[in-house]
Amino acid sequence: MRRLTVAQALVAFLARQWSERDGRRRRLIPACFGIFGHGNVAGLGEALAGAAAAGVDLPYRLCRNEQGMVHTAAAYARMTDRLSTLACTTSIGPGATNLVTGAAGATINRLPVLLLPGDIFATRAANPVLQELEDTRSYDVSVTDALRPVSRYWDRINRPEQLPAALLAAMRVLTDPVETGAVTLALPQDVQAEAYDWPEELFADRVWHVPRPRPDEGAVQRAARIVTAAHRPVLVAGGGVIYSGAPDTLRHFAERHGVPVVETQAGKGALPHDHPLAAGAVGVTGTAAANELAANADVVIGVGTRYSDFTTASGTLFGDARFVNLNITGFDAAKLSGVQVVGDARESLTALSAACADWATPAAYRSTVADLGARWAAVVDRARHADPQARRPRRRSSARSTTPPAPATWWSARPGRCPVTCTSCGAAPTPRPTTSSTATRAWATRSPVGSG
């Protein structure tokens, strides 16, 4: 047995946690961000300082803003393919509420972060503490309760005996690609400093193996039947492709079957930007080439995407396409009434490619994809090499014009609706004035490829 305070036991535990996938092992919690004040300085603050002096490898990094440190932890998790994240500690009071925005973003984007806010005295001996939220309905409510709805796992450690089970549950959620998101362990001030006899095995090295669930064979066959019947398929690569380490598998699938790839914001880089089948970003912030392909697709293969409103242009981009969704989370795989293939992105793409056998898209479609990609690349290249002087804003004249400005007009890039005659569709100018609302298809396709 080892006698430590709750805060010391927490630090010693976190320093020995590892994640592993495909033989690649990383520290799960390599450091702790924090802003100290009443609620965490006398407990967790002292424990981190003592750990550094004792050679325990859990360095502390001072931050200036609680929300910013959670965003940084989420960014770190993204860059490590969700195999590592950072702990974030705050005092009790309004400082803890600053965690909410970052926690919500991490949970929404399926990114692990560990939050360790201080909390009010479990014994209520010092009630109310400075800046305590005094709720007339219950003495058990504090500001850390605001983190409940935005956390994938939330717990308050009111007794030392509760810590081991809570720690194991927290690590399980952080390393589970299906459930991951913000994890909150609220730490009352008095409990942090309470000593307890802990079993030695709590502080042994522990490896959390990140699984690669394989999809159901029946689901793969159903998806393959839809994909092989497609004439104009498009593949939407989301963040799950990156986190699964599946870019090479994605490239092999696209090349073998001739399927163009568009990417979400989280999926950027899933396919090299100069690859012949890479059409770029899709949706509200997408390229004209990607949105042209998406708007005319008959089958959409979503891999590791949660289909946010930016990706789908608020549900207006993909038209009458059928959806085949490969996702490790059943909740996301079921979106847009798609055929669900629930499993790891790399394993699911490999299985679907095998089920599609020698099927490939028609040669005419591949030629269209290459043409769209080449012309979009030319548009980007011209913009990149344009005269910097020409892009400078004109100096506003001191004389006021008496002519009211013309209303802004947005144009659609759908075939036959181009604002000028272009090489894309050969149609005469057919203006279609619309608004800039994200609820219109024109917003998603407002940059015609051939109009520049």
CB of 107 within 8 A of CB of 167? Answer: no
Per-residue pLDDT at 421: 38
CB of 111 within 8 A of CB of 173? Answer: no
Residues 2, 343: Cα–Cα separation, whole Å: 41
Statement: residue 412 has pLDDT above 70: no
Per-residue pLDDT at 392: 55
Domain with CATH 3.40.50.970 in the chain: 2-209
- pLDDT bracket for residue 394 (50, 70, 90): low
Q: What is the mean pLDDT of the chain?
A: 87
CATH (residue range 2-209): 3.40.50.970
Statement: residue 418 has pLDDT above 70: no
> 25 versus 407: which is more confidently predicted?
25
* 345: DSSP letter: H
Each residue's pLDDT tens digit, 342-384: 999 999 999 999 999 999 999 999 999 999 988 888 888 888 8
322 membership: H or E segment, kind and range: strand 322-327
Domain with CATH 3.40.50.1220 in the chain: 217-380
> 287 versus 414: which is more confidently predicted?
287
- pLDDT bracket for residue 433 (50, 70, 90): very low
Give the torsion through C-alpha atoms of 443, 449, 450, 452, to 10 deg: 80
Statement: residue 88 has pLDDT above 70: yes
Instruction: Give the rounded percent of residues in the chain with a pLDDT score beyond 90.
Output: 73
Q: Give the burial class of 260: count Cβ atoms within 10 A of its Cβ; 0-12 exposed, 13-18 middle, 19 or more buried.
A: buried
Per-residue pLDDT at 385: 82
Each residue's pLDDT tens digit, 267-299: 999 999 889 999 999 999 999 999 999 999 999
Statement: residue 301 has pLDDT above 80: yes
Per-residue pLDDT at 451: 39
Per-residue pLDDT at 347: 98
- pLDDT bracket for residue 395 (50, 70, 90): low
Per-residue pLDDT at 199: 96
Average pLDDT over every residue of 402-418: 41
Average pLDDT over every residue of 144-164: 97
- pLDDT bracket for residue 432 (50, 70, 90): very low
Statement: residue 328 has pLDDT above 70: yes
Domain 217-380 has CATH 3.40.50.1220: yes
CA 301: distance to chain centroid?
19
